[in-house]
Amino acid sequence: DQQVKQNSPSLSVQEGRISILNCDYTNSMFDYFLWYKKYPAEGPTFLISISSIKDKNEDGRFTVFLNKSAKHLSLHIVPSQPGDSAVYFCAARTSLRNAGNMLTFGGGTRLMVKP
């Protein structure tokens, strides 16, 4: 049972355009969401996060949008750069006490930004 899903395994975008990566979740107890970027042979790198009390969080070229009613979040990268080419993971967690900081990850989306 995948509680966090990234339905697009890959996405190709032209340099300078917008990249939109999508993520859906099923567990209504999730209240904090994160995006990680992963290059080959490296560990995931934290990018941006959003709490369920917000619907948008922006950090430079990266913006995350949260639609709680649809249980959907998206990551927008504007403008996209070739260095953004990586695998992007959506992750979610609940602040329930016995959950620790357990992150549930989506399967990842491979973003390719073409020069």
Residues at the site binding other proteins, with contacts judged by CB under 8 A? 34, 36, 41-46, 49, 89, 91, 95, 98-108
Backbone angles phi, psi at 39, to 5 degrees: -95, 155
Q: In the complex with other proteins, which residue's Cβ is closer, 36 or 80?
A: 36
Max Cα separation, the chain?
Answer: 46
Q: Which is nearer to other proteins, 7 or 95 (CB)?
A: 95
| Rounded-to-integer distance, Cα 28 and Cα 76, Å | 23
DSSP 40-69: TTS--EEEEEEETT-SEEEETTEEEEEETT
Which of 80, 109 has the CB closer to other proteins? 109
What's the rounded Cα separation, in Å, for the pair 21 and 9? 10
Q: Shortest gap between Cβ of 14 and other proteins (angstroms)?
A: 28
Whole-number minimum distance, CB 4 to other proteins, in Å? Answer: 9
* Cβ 53 to other proteins shortest distance, Å: 14
Q: How far is the CB of 98 from other proteins (least distance, A)?
A: 7
Q: How far apart are CA 3 and CA 92, in angstroms?
A: 9
Smaller CB separation from other proteins, 44 or 84: 44
